[in-house]
Structure 1
Amino acid sequence: AGAAAELAAQGLRVLAVATGFTADPAVLPPLRPAGLVGIGDPLRAGARDTAAAFARSGVRLLLITGDHPATAAAIGTQLGIIGPGDRVAEGGSGDGEARVHARVQPAEKLDIIAALQQQGEVVAMTGDGVNDAPALRRADIGVAMGSGTEVARQAAELVLVDDNLATVATAIGEGRRIYDNIRRFLRYGLSGGIAELLVMLAGPLLGMPLALLPAQLLWVNLLTHGVPGVALGAEPAEAGVLDRRPRSPRESVLGDGLLASVLAGGICVATVVLTAGLVAHHNGRPWQSVMFVVLGLAQLGVALAVRAKAAPGTPRNWSLLAAVALSALLQVAGVLVAPLQTLLGTETLSPLELLACAAVAVVPGLALRLPTGPVRRVLRL
C-alpha cells in the first residue's frame, strides 16, 4: 500500500500485477502479488499556462477523473489548480467547491454538473469517451475531443479538433471580442438613432419647423449605419480581454453602463447638431444643410470613438478608418454635388462653413472617448 501511494503521489496510474494458476477457468485461483506498475500520462506542454489563463479570465477549471485521489491530487498540483494538501473530493459527492474530483464514475459526473448549475455556474464539460456522453449532453456547453469517440462528438455542442485545451482559452477571447463588438455597434448605432430622434423633436421647439428632410435622414443612416457599422465588427480584441471576469448570463446586453453611454452619446450629438443649426439660422445661413452635415460627421466621429483599445502591437482595423473616410466624403458631397443637392434638398456650403461643421462634429467623439467612470458619476447625479 505504501509503494502504491508513493507512485500515485507522483501522478502515476497504478496497476497491481498478480499471478495465479488454475485448471478450471471458471474458478478464480489464489493470487500472489507480483508487483506494481506505474503508468505516466504527462501533461501537455503549456497545460499549466493554460490553467493560469483560465484563472485570470474567471473560468474555474475542475479536474474530474476516475483515478486514485493521490494521483488526481498530484496532477491537479502540477496544473496549479490546487495546492499541496488541498482537499480532493471522491466520487459523485456533488461538492461544487472542490477543484479536483477522484474516483468518479461516469454517472456521478452528472451529479457534479448539477451541483455547479444549481450554484448558478455555466458549465462547460470536456470528454472523449462513450461514458462521457451523458455529461457532455447535460452540461451547458459540451466540448468533445476530436480524437474521441463518435458518440462523444455527437453528444457535444463543440468538437476540439486539436485536442488542446489552450484552444478553448483562445475561443473564450474570441467570443469576448465578438460580444464587445456587438456592444460597440449598439453604442454607436443607438447613439445616432437617439440623436436623430431628439433633433427632429426639438427642432420645431427651437424655431426650425423641419430640422431634416426624410431623404436627408435616410442618407445619413445609409452612410453611418452601413459600411462603418459592418467595419466595427472587425475590431480587434481589447487589451487584457482574458484578464477580466466573465459577465453574468443574466446581464442585459445594454448593462454594465452601456445604456448610460448610449444616452450620453445621443444627447451629446443632438446638442451639437441643434447648436450648429441655431447658429446658422441666426446668421441667415442654410441651417438645414449645416445640421445635415454635422449630424452625419458627428456620428462618424462616434464610430471612431468607440474603437477597441487594443494591446500595443495589435494590427489596427484599417477597414473602419477607410469606411469612415468614404462615408465622410459622401456626406460632404451631399451639399456640394448638384445631383445630390437636388436629391437631398440641400444647399451649398462654403469651405469655411464645412470646416466649422467638421470642427463642431468632433466634439461628441472626443467626449465619448473619455473614461466612462466620470460619465457614469455625472449621470447618477
Structure 2
Amino acid sequence: PLQLLWINLVTDGAPTVALSQEPPHGRVLDEPPRPTNAPIIARALVFRIAFVALFMAAGTIGTFLWTWVHGDLAQARTVAFATMSVFQLFNIYNTRSLTDSVFRIGLWSNRWVTWGVLFSATLLIAAIHIGFLQTALRTVPLTLGQWGIVVLVSSTVLIAEEIRKWVAPGLFGLEISNSRETARAPVRVR
C-alpha cells in the first residue's frame, strides 16, 4: 500500500503540477466551447485511459514475472514498483496533448515538466537505493541491468501513444478535440 501512495503522491506529484505550466497547442481558442450537457470525462478519453492503463499493467506484470523467474520475490516487487513509477513518468509526456505528437510539440518545450520528471526520478532512485526508504517501502537495490529493463519497458507507453496519435487519433470511433484540454464525442444536431 505504501508503494501505491508513493507512486500516486511522490512520483506523479511534481510532473502533474508542472503540467499546469503547459502552453496551449494549436488553435485552442478557435474551438467552440463544449456543450453544457457534455460529460466531464468523454467516452473517447475513458477508452484512451483504459488503453494506457492496460498497457502499463501488462508491462508491469511482465517485468514482475520476468524478474521473479530470474531473481527473487523482493527484486520482482521492486522492479514492478519501479516499472509502474517510470511508466507514469513517460506517460506524463503523453498527457501534454491528446492528438499532437510530443515530438512535434517539443519533448523539452515545457521545462517544468522536464524538471518535475527529473525530480520524481531522483526520488524513485532514492526510494530503491537508500536504506531507510528501502525499509519503509520494502524495496531492494536494483542492478543496472534491471534498471535498463525498467526504462526500456516503461518507455513503450510513450511509443505506443505516439503510434496511436499518428495512425489513429480517433482510434475508438470518437472525435478527439485538437486541444489538450478536452476530448468529446461528436455533437449531434437535431
Query: TM-score, normalised on structure 1?
Result: 0.40
* Secondary structure at 1:247 match in 2: coil
Q: Deviations over 1:298-348 (max 9, x none)?
A: 0111111111449879x9321111001110121122111122111111111
Which residue of 155, 166, 171 maps to 1:375? 171
Which residue in 1 is equivalent to 2:23? 236
Question: How much does 1:295 deviate?
Answer: 0.5
Which residue of 337, 341, 351 maps to 2:144? 351
* Secondary structure at 1:375 match in 2: coil
Change (3 A) 1:241 1:221: same
- Distance in structure 1 (CA, Å) of the matches to 2:171 and 2:70: 33
1:224 equivalent in alignment to 2:8 = no
Which residue in 2 is equivalent to 1:317? 110
* Secondary structure at 2:169 match in 1: helix
Aligned residues with identical type, % of pairs: 27
Which residue of 111, 116, 132 maps to 1:339? 132
1:247 equivalent in alignment to 2:34 = yes
Say whether the 8 Å CA contact 1:269–1:364 is kept in structure 2: yes
Q: Deviations over 1:213-267 (max 9, x none)?
A: x121111112233111111112111212133333212111211611111111111
Q: Deviations over 1:9-58 (max 9, x none)?
A: xxxxxxxxxxxxxxxxxxxxxxxxxxxxxxxxxxxxxxxxxxxxxxxxxx
Question: How much does 1:373 deviate?
Answer: 3.0
Which residue in 2 is equivalent to 1:20? none
Which residue in 2 is equivalent to 1:363? 156
- Distance in structure 2 (CA, Å) of the matches to 1:248 and 1:233: 24
Which residue in 2 is equivalent to 1:299? 88
Question: How much does 1:268 deviate?
Answer: 0.9
1:271 equivalent in alignment to 2:64 = no
- Distance in structure 2 (CA, Å) of the matches to 1:368 and 1:232: 18
Say whether the 8 Å CA contact 2:11–2:124 is kept in structure 1: no
User: Which is higher, the Rg of structure 1 or of structure 2?
Assistant: 1
Which residue in 2 is equivalent to 1:155? none
* Secondary structure at 1:248 match in 2: coil
Higher RCO (CA 8 Å, separation ≥ 6 residues): 2
Which residue in 2 is equivalent to 1:287? 76
Provide structure 2 residue ranges, at least 5 long, that are not aligned to the other structure: 174-190
Comparing 323-332 and 237-246, the one that deviates more: 237-246
- Distance in structure 2 (CA, Å) of the matches to 1:252 and 1:224: 29
Structure 2 counterparts to residues 1-381 of structure 1, below 5 A: 214-255=1-42, 257-285=44-72, 286-308=75-97, 309=100, 316-369=109-162, 370-371=164-165, 373=169, 375-376=171-172
Change (3 A) 1:312 1:363: closer
Change (3 A) 1:253 1:224: farther
Q: Tell me the number of residue pairs that the alignment of Structure 1 and Structure 2 aligns.
A: 163
Higher normalized strand content (fraction of residues): 1
State the one-letter code of the partner of 1:375.
L
Superposition RMSD in Å: 2.2
Query: TM-score, normalised on structure 2?
Result: 0.77
Higher normalized helix content (fraction of residues): 2
* Secondary structure at 1:329 match in 2: helix
